[in-house]
Amino acid sequence: RAEDGHALWLRYAEARPLDMEDTGIGLGEVTAPGATPTQRAARDELRRGLAGLLGSAPRFREGPGGAGGLVLGTPDSSPWIAPMRRELDGLGEEGFLLRETRVDGRKTLLVAARRDIGVLYGVFHLLRLMQTGVELDGLEVREVPQVKLRVLDHWDNLDGYVERGYAGRSLWDWHTLPDWRDPRYTDYARANASLGINGSVLNNVNAEALSLSHAYLRKAAALADVFRPYGIRVYLGARFSAPIELGGLATADPLDPGVQRWWRDKADEIYALIPDFGGFLVKANSEGQPGPQDYARTHAEGANLLADALAAHGGVVMWRAFVYAPDVAEDRARQAYDEFAGLDGALRDNVLVQVKNGPIDFQPREPFHPLFGAMPRTPLMMEFQVTKEYLGFATHLVYLGPLYEEALRSDTHAQGAGSTVAKVVDGSLDGHALSGIAGVANIGDDRTWSGSHFDQANWYAFGRLAWNPRQSARDIAADWVAMTFSPDPGVVAPIVDMMMGSREAAVDYMTPLGLHHLMARGHHYGPGPWVDGGPRADWTSVYYHRADARGIGFDRSTRGSDAVSQYAPEVARTFDDIEQVPEALLLWFHHVPWDHPMRSGRPLWDEMVHRYTRGVRYVDAMQATWETLRGRIDGPRHAHVAAFLAIQRAEAQWWRDASVAYFQSINGLPLPAGELPPP
């Protein structure tokens, strides 16, 4: 099934030109324990991987009895690893070491860790090196994850519908759980473990109370059983009013003793079924969800209620900062900061505040969220969207690695220059042991898992960056292409180039220069800059672009909504100054005259049209590149991607033409000379 994409980046299909046995390591011989489920998962993966890459399955030994070849284990599971106990202590619970050495005179490759899960991660790492053609001779790799909780958030409803999901229906078949454990659950766990993802929130943030009922907890427990050997903990989205809906209480007030007891009992019930349950993810008082403010309590009082119920069991609360009131006379971009920054220090130790990368909502480009750096006493969890709600769903080829990288490398200046978002998120800036990063999953029951071949790269990049937020999006793309399509440099280089510019292209043809939220109403697919009216101002496009005869853009400067002042002074000054603000964010922070001179020398209007057109041209270029790869990529996948690129090409032009025509209807300006619409 490799050619339908189901194998993801774990195809193990392309044997390297270099014969692995040439390294003298003798990878066909593996000494590995097989007593625990995780140890067996590591052996299974090696069997699968080496059979694919070397052409024959390895021989397994449990040892003792020999050295040489590949030796896997922990100090407790392997006599060869036992002498390394001291050295491995520095690797924490999940880190690992790969080392080429000599044991009893024979070349040996060690995959060593303190815990079985580290060994499994090490095996996936080794297989990745082999898939991407890295030389194993003299290998020495030490890897420790930089972020503690590396989590996928599934916005899956119990009826199988995936909110903002473009890859079919939910993977979880609640109907047949817990009795039937679909093999896909194991495949899902393998794919995540290959990246180091160690948590899965099974249900939607717009949570149904029913997911906390005993019947559904038993189903979640079955999934937890499948995931456990792969180091993945299960979490649940918790509906704040569940004590009313499930428990029959009259209130969900966090200060009510009956409510507190209900959550404690619920936690006890969950941990009896899922001893390593991760905790709750909560969306409260946002977009109509219930929450503590319904009882005139704060977000901190709400979060602490659940945190206290989970604390005895070691669980955490991931409390979302994505909140905004229905009444946004002011500026919606300000609201999360206004509600949360003052709660710093008021939250229990086992609460993380989960913050979207930007202050609005997963737009093609946003500045980093001003809460990063503003709550030093609270672990702030990053929330990225892997599913492309505002980026062309699964049809448009948009590699999100550069978006994630841009957000993580943004400098908050919270403690002077170099206080990057990555350092806030990994806890190093403020010395937090608890840290986390979440991705809203793009996974469903589609044969490609993600709705398209290239959207697998976004799942992959999210996982790799969660492990180490300082990695480069380009390097990650190169690994993904080598593993997914071919390690041939003639394939890797052009595809990586194509991927790396794809996000900027989407920004160009959808929302250039800091424009945002101009998608069609509700479904968010396709252009809708004219969207106006309806129940809420902040659900219209005109609220965001504010175009008039004079100019365009949302004035968030000190003369406008003053959202700039939520950033550290250094950053605020830059964003506030129309001459200094990065042009990519110009219309996010300023209302700018149509004839404002841009750095290119063009007036703003001409520059906008230029960028819209440039975005369409980039899709032309991706089509041309893909065409040159015909015959080097298997037919079915080549055809699938080519068909989607054709859709993207047509829709990029739709975006451009619709947006340009709409803004012309407001500014009355002609098309700039030479800027003809693409044919």
- The catalytic site residues sit at 287, 361, 389
Does residue number 595 form part of the binding site for ligand GCU (CB under 6 A)?
no
Q: Nearer Cβ to ligand GCU, position 230 or 322?
A: 322
Helix (H, G, I), strand (E, B) or coil at 125: helix
Q: How far apart are CA 394 and CA 166, in angstroms?
A: 6
Q: Nearer Cβ to ligand GCU, position 172 or 384?
A: 384
Shortest spacing between CB 57 and ligand GCU, in angstroms: 45
Q: Nearer Cβ to ligand GCU, position 206 or 664?
A: 206
Shortest spacing between CB 535 and ligand GCU, in angstroms: 14
Tell which residue, 505, 501, 495, has the closest CA to residue 629.
495
Q: Nearer Cβ to ligand GCU, position 322 or 404?
A: 322
Residues 322-341 touching ligand GCU, rule: CB under 6 A, are 322
Shortest spacing between CB 319 and ligand GCU, in angstroms: 13
Tell which residue, 428, 424, 421, 389, has the closest CA to residue 405.
421
Structure tokens at 641: 């991607």
Torsion sign over Cα 513, 517, 523, 527: negative
Q: Nearer Cβ to ligand GCU, position 5 or 199?
A: 199
Q: How far apart are CA 102 and CA 106, in angstroms?
A: 5
Helix (H, G, I), strand (E, B) or coil at 152: strand
Structure tokens at 531: 């969207």
* Total of residues contacting ligand GCU (CB under 6 A): 8
Helix (H, G, I), strand (E, B) or coil at 29: strand
Query: Are 240 and 206 spatial neighbours (Cβ–Cβ below 8 Å)?
Result: no
CA angle 124, 128, 132 (to 5 degrees): 175
Q: Which of 4, 100, 163, 338: binder of ligand GCU (CB under 6 A)?
A: 163
Burial class of residue 86 in the structure, from the number of CB atoms within 10 Å of its CB (0-12 exposed, 13-18 middle, 19+ buried): exposed
CA angle 29, 71, 226 (to 5 degrees): 95
296-325 mask for ligand GCU (x: CB under 6 A)?
Answer: --------------------------x---
Q: Nearer Cβ to ligand GCU, position 164 or 516?
A: 164
Shortest spacing between CB 241 and ligand GCU, in angstroms: 16
Q: Which of 206, 251, 260, 472: binder of ligand GCU (CB under 6 A)?
A: 206
388-427 mask for ligand GCU (x: CB under 6 A)?
Answer: -x--------------------------------------
Q: How far apart are CA 477 and CA 495, in angstroms?
A: 9
The phi and psi torsions of 358 (rounded to 5 degrees) equal -130, 170
Does residue number 182 form part of the binding site for ligand GCU (CB under 6 A)?
no
Pairing mode of beta strands 149-153, 140-143:
unpaired
Does residue number 283 form part of the binding site for ligand GCU (CB under 6 A)?
yes
Does residue number 366 form part of the binding site for ligand GCU (CB under 6 A)?
no
Shortest spacing between CB 164 and ligand GCU, in angstroms: 5
Other CB atoms within a 10 A radius of the CB of residue 134 amount to: 15
Q: How far apart are CA 480 and CA 454, in angstroms?
A: 10
612-641 mask for ligand GCU (x: CB under 6 A)?
Answer: ------------------------------
Q: Nearer Cβ to ligand GCU, position 29 or 361?
A: 361
Return the DSSP state at 441: -
Q: Please provide the DSSP assignment of 174-220 as one string.
A: TTTTTT---HHHHHHHHHHHHHT--EEE-S-SS--GGGGSHHHHHHH
Residues with Cβ within 8 Å of residue 90, at least 6 apart in sequence:
144
Q: Nearer Cβ to ligand GCU, position 11 or 283?
A: 283
Does residue number 282 form part of the binding site for ligand GCU (CB under 6 A)?
no
The phi and psi torsions of 512 (rounded to 5 degrees) equal -70, 160
Q: Nearer Cβ to ligand GCU, position 128 or 283?
A: 283
Per DSSP, which regions of 279-379 are E strands? 279-282, 316-320, 351-356
Task: Calculate the alpha carbon distances from 480 to 302, 444, 524 in Å.
Answer: 41, 20, 28
Shortest spacing between CB 205 and ligand GCU, in angstroms: 5
Shortest spacing between CB 153 and ligand GCU, in angstroms: 9
Shortest spacing between CB 282 and ligand GCU, in angstroms: 11
Query: Are 581 and 365 spatial neighbours (Cβ–Cβ below 8 Å)?
Result: no
Q: Which of 14, 156, 331, 361: binder of ligand GCU (CB under 6 A)?
A: 361
Q: Nearer Cβ to ligand GCU, position 361 or 405?
A: 361
Shortest spacing between CB 163 and ligand GCU, in angstroms: 5
Query: Are 389 and 362 spatial neighbours (Cβ–Cβ below 8 Å)?
Result: yes
Q: Which of 27, 205, 343, 466: binder of ligand GCU (CB under 6 A)?
A: 205
Shortest spacing between CB 306 and ligand GCU, in angstroms: 17
Shortest spacing between CB 511 and ligand GCU, in angstroms: 16
Q: Nearer Cβ to ligand GCU, position 132 or 363?
A: 363
Structure tokens at 301: 């009082």
Which residue carries 């890295």 as its tokens?
134
The phi and psi torsions of 608 (rounded to 5 degrees) equal -60, -50
If you compute the radius of gyration of the chain from its CA atoms, what whole number of angstroms results? 26
Shortest spacing between CB 383 and ligand GCU, in angstroms: 8
The H or E element spanning position 70 is strand 69-73
Q: Nearer Cβ to ligand GCU, position 163 or 497?
A: 163
Q: Compute the CA torsion angle 251, 256, 261, 267 (nearest 10 deg).
A: 70
Task: Calculate the alpha carbon distances from 512 to 137, 572, 662 in Å.
Answer: 47, 21, 15
Q: Nearer Cβ to ligand GCU, position 164 or 334?
A: 164
Q: Which of 164, 332, 517, 545: binder of ligand GCU (CB under 6 A)?
A: 164
Structure tokens at 292: 């503590």
Pairing mode of beta strands 279-282, 316-320:
parallel
Tell which residue, 228, 93, 67, 128, has the closest CA to residue 479.
128
Q: How far apart are CA 172 and CA 673, in angstroms?
A: 54
Binding site for ligand GCU (CB under 6 A): 163-164, 205-206, 283, 322, 361, 389
